[in-house]
Amino acid sequence: MLQRGHAYPNSFTLAFVLKACAVVVAFKEGLQIHSHVFRHGLDLSPFVQTGLLNFYAKCEEIRDARRVFDEIPERNLIAWSAMISGYARIGMVNEGLGLFREMQKVGIRPDEVTMVSIISACAKAGALDLGRWVHAFIEKNEIKLDVELSTALVDMYAKCGCIERARELFDVMPDRDTKAWSSMIVGLAIHGLAEDALAYFRRMEESKVKPNHVTFIGVLSACVHSGLVYEGKKYWLSMCQCKIEPSMEHYGCMVDLLCRASRIEEACEFVEAMPISPNSIIWRTLLVGCKNKGLLEKGEFVAERLLEVEPLNAENHVLLSNLYASGLRWDKVSYVRKRMKDNGVKAIPGCSSIEVDGFLHEFVMGDESHPEAKEIREVLMDVHRQVHRAGHEPWTSAVLHDVGEEEKVSALFEHSERLAIAFGLLKTRAPMAIRVVKNLRVCGDCHEVTKIISKLYSREIIVRDRVRFHRFVNGSCSCKDYW
DNA sequence: ATAGGGTTAG
């Protein structure tokens, strides 16, 4: 259009082109459009402004997005929503919530699109109390529960450990599309509820909604967490029949499926046969499998591949070191530690956080400053003993056939330390850990269980005080200040 | 004729 000089692009043209750049994350092209906008003085159109804002947000260039946002003289609902969504997308939860509060202060009423970003920010933060508050806000303000917002709520409740609440919401949805079904199936899968996840998948098929690649990630990971090797392979084939090209994540599920079932050799062969080059996660999954089975040589080979792909990640070196330690090869252990030092690779202690009753508990490996550190360690030891008494040494799928549903879930963890680390490092694993504790009959009510979980969460904990947490809820301090 | 939203392996 520009070369042929047929017509000058106007604000409509540029808004469309910016949308295209945002959709395919074409950063360089978008920058050119931005300069075009600037040169031709088209930056006064609100459609072009939000187009630019959304483009930067989708490219995860949040500072540029914010600059565009700050320069908009009259910010409307769309601009606020786009900015909040940008923060939520990259996990800057506090900033997103802060803007949500600010927009209400200046008298802009959020709609269902705004609320989707807010709810998804809560899901990412694992902030159940806040999520419930926002849900109540939605109902009080009679904001429409369309399929997107319902899906966001289902996802939020599932990620925050309330799988039953998620299921209730899902079951009353009038229309469910692929993403709605996927979020329900993934939610059940991360709770270790494989049977339910697979039952929902069958219902999805019956209702003629087509599964996509994310649905199959849910289905496959459900199989992984229940040791269903045969079923996992079956769904892999049916996925291929659906003409869904397996992605790295799907390969990851299969490798994990085989490793957790102690089929390390088969997992290695599977990786060898992959048509795409395995990423660090695939190699690391294999390495963890080797470590758990004490396969020194195989583990060494896998670790070399892993370190080729990702040499600067301390976790990889530590894993290799732990593999040697499990085989009492202390000479090799000190060699790995020396290599780390020589290459300037530093181990950073793992950390995580969970919100319970308005308190934000923060967990750092090796930290002992929590006032209840002693009691927490006792609870941890108790779970350790109970899991061990149930005989959950590195488990196999064969074992799973012999044990009842109750032990099935706890069998996911070889010992309580693994459990603590599992949900200390990965928030989405918390729900699964909750089920383990439930099955161990420690407690009943969901939130009650969450409290206990918070005590088990990691080695030990720093508790932030209530005042600081309130600042977090109100969004009046930025993420950086907070941490 | 134009704008903002949900699901993703370890």
CA of A174, C1' of B9: distance in angstroms: 30
Instruction: For residue A234, give every residue at least 6 positions away whose Cβ sits within 8 Å of its Cβ, in sequence order, or none.
Output: none
Q: Contact A280/A302 with Cβ under 8 angstroms?
A: no
Name the residue closest to the C1' of B9 by its CA: A249
CA of A148, C1' of B9: distance in angstroms: 24
Which residue in this structure is represented by tokens 């803007």?
Answer: A99
Helix or strand (DSSP H, E) at A361: strand A359-364
What is the rounded CA–CA span in Å between residue A290 and residue A255?
12
**A175 SS3 class:** coil
Give the pLDDT confidence score for residue A394 in this predicted structure.
31
CA of A221, C1' of B10: distance in angstroms: 11
CA of A73, C1' of B9: distance in angstroms: 43
What is the rounded CA–CA span in Å between residue A446 and residue A180?
23
Going by C-alpha positions, the residue among A145, A90, A72 that lies closest to residue A115 is A145
**A350 SS3 class:** coil
Q: Which amino acid is at A119?
A: I
Name the residue closest to the C1' of B8 by its CA: A214
CA of A248, C1' of B9: distance in angstroms: 7
Give the pLDDT confidence score for residue A88 in this predicted structure.
93
The size of chain A, in residues, is 483
Name the residue closest to the C1' of B1 by its CA: A12
CA of A116, C1' of B2: distance in angstroms: 23
Give the pLDDT confidence score for residue A328 in this predicted structure.
87
Q: Which residues pair with A360 in a beta bridge?
A: A355
Going by C-alpha positions, the residue among A345, A351, A348 that lies closest to residue A364 is A351
CA of A54, C1' of B10: distance in angstroms: 31
Which nucleotide, over all strands, has the C1' atom closest to the CA of A257? B9
CA of A333, C1' of B7: distance in angstroms: 42
**A355 SS3 class:** strand
Which nucleotide, over all strands, has the C1' atom closest to the CA of A19? B3
Measured in degrees and rounded to the nearest 5, phi and psi for residue A465 equal -80, 170
Give the pLDDT confidence score for residue A447 in this predicted structure.
35
Tell which strand B nucleotides have any atom below 7 Å from a protein Cβ.
Answer: 1-10
**A60 SS3 class:** coil
Chain centroid to CA A149: how far?
19
Give the pLDDT confidence score for residue A2 in this predicted structure.
82
What is the rounded CA–CA span in Å between residue A475 and residue A79?
19
CA of A117, C1' of B6: distance in angstroms: 9
Give the pLDDT confidence score for residue A323 in this predicted structure.
93
Which nucleotide, over all strands, has the C1' atom closest to the CA of A108? B4
CA of A442, C1' of B8: distance in angstroms: 32
Instruction: For residue A19, give every residue at least 6 positions away whose Cβ sits within 8 Å of its Cβ, in sequence order, or none.
Output: A51, A54, A55
Which nucleotide, over all strands, has the C1' atom closest to the CA of A80? B4
Which nucleotide, over all strands, has the C1' atom closest to the CA of A86? B4
Q: What is the pLDDT along chain A (483 residues), one digit of tens a residue?
A: 888 877 788 899 999 999 999 999 999 999 999 999 989 888 889 999 999 999 999 999 999 999 999 999 999 999 999 999 999 998 888 889 889 999 999 999 999 999 999 999 988 877 777 889 999 999 999 999 999 999 999 999 998 878 889 999 999 999 999 999 999 999 999 887 889 999 999 999 999 999 999 999 999 999 998 889 999 999 999 999 999 999 999 999 999 999 989 999 999 999 999 999 999 999 999 999 999 889 999 999 999 999 999 999 888 998 999 899 888 889 999 999 999 989 888 876 655 555 544 554 555 556 666 555 565 556 556 555 554 555 443 332 222 222 333 333 333 333 333 343 333 333 333 334 443 433 332 222 333 334 444 444 332 333 332 222 323 333 322 222 222
Q: Which residues pair with A461 in a beta bridge?
A: A363
Give the pLDDT confidence score for residue A193 in this predicted structure.
86
Which nucleotide, over all strands, has the C1' atom closest to the CA of A189? B9
Name the residue closest to the C1' of B5 by its CA: A113
What is the rounded CA–CA span in Å between residue A163 and residue A382?
26
Which nucleotide, over all strands, has the C1' atom closest to the CA of A156? B6
Name the residue closest to the C1' of B6 by its CA: A148
Instruction: For residue A403, give every residue at least 6 positions away whose Cβ sits within 8 Å of its Cβ, in sequence order, or none.
Output: A411
Give the pLDDT confidence score for residue A364 in this predicted structure.
57
Name the residue closest to the C1' of B2 by its CA: A12
